[in-house]
Amino acid sequence: MGTTAMAACLLPTGQAGAVTVGEAAPSCVQYSTSWRYTFVTNTCDATQHVTVEYRDGTVVPCRTAGPGDTVTFPGYGTGDNGVQGVVLCAAP
């Protein structure tokens, strides 16, 4: 019988509790996307650990964004791999 691994993510610094990986980022985390880049800006008062969800399931690394920071992810590309949204993730 094999073991099952679970992944979890802590809430942003200064908040108690835990969230599931893939929970939508709070509304104070905003993004804009183009064919080449997706820019995610943290306008929250706390650090956020975020990643971008793509329509085709492409996985990109988690990035840490402090208050006021903007982090960059790949865009939707020439194949129009749409960005579904920004989600919380485990800190890198």
DSSP string for 6-44: --EEEPSTT--SEEETTPBPPTTEEEEE-SSEEEEEE-S
Question: Residue with structure tokens 């985390």?
Answer: 29
Q: What is the pLDDT of residues 55-75, one digit of tens each?
A: 999 999 999 999 999 999 999
**pLDDT attached to residue 9:** 37
**pLDDT attached to residue 21:** 58
Characterize 72-84 residue by residue with b for buried, 16 or more Cβ atoms within 10 angstroms of its Cβ, and e for exposed.
Answer: ebbbbeeeebebe
**Token pair belonging to 52:** 């971008």
